[in-house]
């Protein structure tokens, strides 16, 4: 079943101890789409400028990413530049140029309003609410967020939490949003704020899944080849929702497997600067690493 | 089978956001012994001063910790003071008074020299080597270490690595000792330096076990009630070696289970200031949390 994603398509300029990339294809919706498309069709809603090359569109289309919701606006595409030091756990943003994304008001194509799976990538809660108002109730709607929105638009973000099924964020953000210093307490508190699933991304330390009936933790895939962690969180969400989109039931077993698929897909993303390693991965690669994860993480 | 531990018995003064303790029973060998004694008999080698109260000895003896190797020297017992802020992940040392421990030369009682399991708690590599020279080759000898020894006595520490079966240390220490920024690469590199098991403690993020044939990761037990992380690493090692001391074979299954038991035992330690919660835990409590870990961590 189709997964609908609303987020950014961008040019990323990245510096790491292992090399640098200039104006590489990036953005939350890009990474999510490339990840989720390993499992089934993806519907992408975003905006790019008239400087966005057709070859990037073809890269996405080849993977089964439908682009009818990708608006091309007059002006320049969103650009982000960042630098990673040391262990690559966190980027320092060097510059953010919203460009056409600064005026983005997401419009969901009529044919896509009944999409069963929805991912609201990190973005203004007002935009996330606008998308939720346009779609029929999905089987599973998951929103991502970050510190900036927690600090500046908390009331709108709390409204998003009441309207989605799942929340996806990193450990520090979970603690900040919940007002708890302990991650387990934070997860429990966030469930009280609306969503029935809370997915906490911890980078090299793996992830947590909290629901009212399930608590599950999984380490990251043990790759010794981490080059660039940009897009890892969105890839994780893409693998998670992509995997669920192929599940008959959204029970505990399906959720655990989805976390593992998210983990595996993100492990490809971090192995190259930009989207290269993720684009090269195929379903066979994903299955092999999934089986490795089972051996690596199971008692 | 018996587990022999050589380490500190100390008075700890601890400040946390949840309260403070003054001159509480602490030290690496204390936490290790209380943890390992949940699984079988423990033999403790350490030194205390003549200010050390008999009631503390009784607390250890009641748990099946044999104290024939605990020297009582003229002078004061080792004292440590530390403070935890925020998420309790790291203590700031306020003071360290080695006192009688500063002149400690470990002497293993003759009857204990054939102990099948040995834990060399964090300490001077010269002392660790002296212990290794006194004992018959144990079934499994594990050494702990820390940044101070990595930075100041690297050649002696490398000699320890060549003589033990297992190395136990935290993630940052593993990276520093291996000279690698990535933990997976660090684990692989440390195996090349001698030990056939590398156990990396990551606090709230759980642990890794590396061997030539096995890579295994386990999250921490999901307690929402973390009060004081002092002694958690030594408790983890105690649960790990205690569990193995009851295993017929030291194969992959036994090692995975031992990591889980170490994880569970450490989860009690962090739930009180000092050793209280660990001392209150019994085998039934340990089994209950072990079963929870299986549900929490298994795909």
And the tokens for A30? 């890009």
Which one of B205, B224, B297 has the shortest CB-CB distance to A185? B224
> How does residue A106 score in pLDDT terms, banded at 50, 70 and 90?
very high
Contact B224 A182 (CB under 8 A): yes
Q: Which one-letter DSSP state was computed for residue B248?
A: S
pLDDT for B18: 87
Q: Which residue of A has its CA nearest to B184?
A: A224
Alpha helix positions (H), B37-118: 54-62
Q: Which secondary structure element, helix H or strand E, spans residue B11, and what is its range?
A: strand B10-16
Q: Which residue of B has its CA nearest to A189?
A: B224
And the tokens for A92? 């320092």
* Residue A195 neighbours by CB under 8 Å, 6+ apart: A161, A164, A165, A166, A167
Q: Which residue has the tokens 């033999």?
A: B43
Are the C-beta atoms of A51 and A68 separated by less than 8 Å? no
In sequence order, the β-bridge partners of residue A69 are A45
Indicate the SS3 state at residue B299. Answer: coil
Model confidence at B194: pLDDT above 80: yes
And the tokens for A115? 């999409």
C-alpha A97/C-alpha A76 separation (Å) is: 9
Contact B296 A217 (CB under 8 A): yes
Contact B299 A218 (CB under 8 A): yes
- The two beta strands, A91-97 and A79-84, are antiparallel
> How does residue A299 score in pLDDT terms, banded at 50, 70 and 90?
confident
pLDDT for A285: 98
Contact A299 B256 (CB under 8 A): yes
Residues of A with CB under 8 A from a CB of B: 17, 86-88, 175, 181-185, 188, 202, 204-206, 208, 215-219, 222-226, 256-257, 260, 293-294, 296-299
pLDDT for A1: 82
Q: Give, to the nearest 10 degrees, the angle between helix A252-269 and helix A283-297.
A: 110
Are the C-beta atoms of B210 and B188 separated by less than 8 Å? yes
C-alpha A50/C-alpha A69 separation (Å) is: 15
Q: Which residue of A has its CA nearest to B183?
A: A224
Query: Taking CB atoms and an 8 Å cutoff, what residues of chain A touch B204?
Result: 183
The candidate with the shortest Cα–Cα distance to A297, out of A259, A269, A268, A242, is A259
* Residue A198 neighbours by CB under 8 Å, 6+ apart: A166, A167, A174, A187, A190, A191, A208, A209, A210, A211
Query: Taking CB atoms and an 8 Å cutoff, what residues of chain A touch B183?
Result: 204
Burial of A116 (0-12, 13-18, 19+ CB in 10 A): middle
Contact B297 A215 (CB under 8 A): no
Model confidence at B76: pLDDT above 80: yes
Q: Which residue of B has its CA nearest to A202?
A: B205
Give the closest-approach CA distance of B150 to chain A in angstroms: 20
Mean residue pLDDT across chain B: 96
Write out pLDDT tens, residues A194-243: 999 999 999 999 999 999 999 999 999 999 999 999 999 999 999 999 99
Query: What pTM does this model have?
Result: 0.94
Sign of torsion over alpha carbons A184, A188, A191, A193: negative
The candidate with the shortest Cα–Cα distance to A223, out of B11, B52, B158, B182, is B182
Contact A224 B185 (CB under 8 A): yes
**Long-range contact list for B153-160, CB < 8 A, 24+ apart?**
B153/B124, B153/B125, B153/B126, B156/B124, B156/B125, B156/B126, B156/B129, B157/B125, B158/B193, B158/B194, B159/B125, B159/B129, B160/B120, B160/B125, B160/B128, B160/B129, B160/B132
pLDDT for A284: 98
DSSP notation for A278-298? HHH--HHHHHHHHHHHHHHH-
> How does residue A89 score in pLDDT terms, banded at 50, 70 and 90?
confident
In sequence order, the β-bridge partners of residue A209 are A199, A216
Write out pLDDT tens, residues B34-54: 999 999 999 999 999 999 999
Main-chain dihedrals φ then ψ at residue A92, nearest 5 degrees: -100, 120
pLDDT for B276: 97
| Length reported for chain A | 299
Give the closest-approach CA distance of A183 to chain B in angstroms: 7
Write out pLDDT tens, residues A153-205: 999 999 999 999 999 999 999 999 999 999 999 999 999 999 999 999 999 99
Query: Taking CB atoms and an 8 Å cutoff, what residues of chain B touch A223?
Result: 184
Q: How far is CA A234 from the centre of its chain?
A: 2
Model confidence at B87: pLDDT above 80: no
Contact B217 A216 (CB under 8 A): no
Contact B299 A298 (CB under 8 A): yes
Burial of A86 (0-12, 13-18, 19+ CB in 10 A): exposed
Which one of B17, B183, B298 has the shortest CB-CB distance to A298? B298
- Render the burial of B113-133: b for 16+ CB within 10 Å, e for the rest: eebbbbbbbbbbbebbbbbbe
Which one of B182, B217, B226 has the shortest CB-CB distance to A296? B217
Which one of B215, B257, B297 has the shortest CB-CB distance to A222? B215
Are the C-beta atoms of B74 and B50 separated by less than 8 Å? yes
Query: Taking CB atoms and an 8 Å cutoff, what residues of chain A touch B202?
Result: 205
> How does residue A88 score in pLDDT terms, banded at 50, 70 and 90?
confident
C-alpha B221/C-alpha A225 separation (Å) is: 28
| Length reported for chain B | 299
Q: Give, to the nearest 10 degrees, the angle between helix A125-134 and helix A154-163.
A: 30
Contact B222 A217 (CB under 8 A): yes
| ipTM for this prediction | 0.89
Query: Taking CB atoms and an 8 Å cutoff, what residues of chain B touch A183?
Result: 204
Query: Taking CB atoms and an 8 Å cutoff, what residues of chain A touch B218?
Result: 219, 297, 299
Count of CB pairs separated by less than 8 Å, A with B:
85
The candidate with the shortest Cα–Cα distance to A38, out of A289, A293, A294, is A289
Which one of A175, A217, A224 has the shortest CB-CB distance to B219? A217
pLDDT for A18: 87
Question: Vertex A31, ends A25 and A35: CA angle to 5°?
Answer: 135
pLDDT for A252: 95
As its CATH architecture, domain A3-297 has 3-Layer(aba) Sandwich (3.40)
Model confidence at A131: pLDDT above 80: yes
DSSP notation for B19-52? EEEEEEEE-HHHHHHHHHTTTS-EEEEEEEETT-
C-alpha A222/C-alpha B183 separation (Å) is: 9
Indicate the SS3 state at residue B270. Answer: coil
């Amino acid at each position: 079943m189709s997964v609908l994603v609303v987020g950014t398509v961008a040019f990323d300029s990245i510096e790491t101890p292992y090399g640098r990339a200039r104006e590489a294809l990036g953005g939350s919706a890009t990474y999510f789409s490339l990840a989720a498309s390993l499992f089934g069709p993806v519907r992408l809603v975003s905006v790019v400028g008239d400087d966005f090359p057709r070859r990037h569109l073809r890269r996405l289309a080849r993977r089964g990413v439908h682009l009818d919701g990708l608006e091309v606006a007059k002006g320049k595409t969103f650009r982000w530049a960042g630098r990673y030091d040391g262990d690559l756990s966190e980027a320092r943003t060097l510059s953010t140029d919203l460009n056409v994304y600064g005026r983005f008001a997401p419009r969901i194509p009529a044919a896509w309003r009944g999409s069963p799976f929805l991912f609201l990538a990190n973005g203004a809660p007002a935009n996330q609410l606008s998308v939720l108002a346009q779609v029929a109730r999905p089987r599973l709607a998951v929103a991502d967020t970050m510190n900036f929105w927690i600090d500046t638009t908390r009331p709108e973000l709390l409204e998003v939490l009441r309207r989605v099924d799942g929340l996806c964020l990193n450990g520090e953000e979970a603690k900040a949003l919940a007002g708890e210093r302990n991650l387990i307490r934070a997860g429990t508190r966030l469930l009280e704020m609306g969503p029935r699933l809370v997915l906490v991304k911890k980078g090299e330390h793996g992830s947590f899944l909290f629901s009212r009936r399930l608590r599950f933790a999984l380490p990251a895939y043990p790759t010794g080849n981490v080059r660039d962690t940009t897009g890892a969180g969105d890839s994780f969400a893409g693998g998670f929702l992509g995997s669920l989109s192929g599940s008959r039931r959204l029970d505990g077993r399906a959720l655990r497997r989805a976390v593992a698929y998210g983990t595996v897909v993100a492990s490809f993303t971090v192995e190259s600067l930009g989207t290269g390693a993720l684009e090269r991965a195929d379903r066979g690669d994903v299955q092999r690493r999934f089986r490795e994860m089972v051996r690596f993480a199971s008692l």
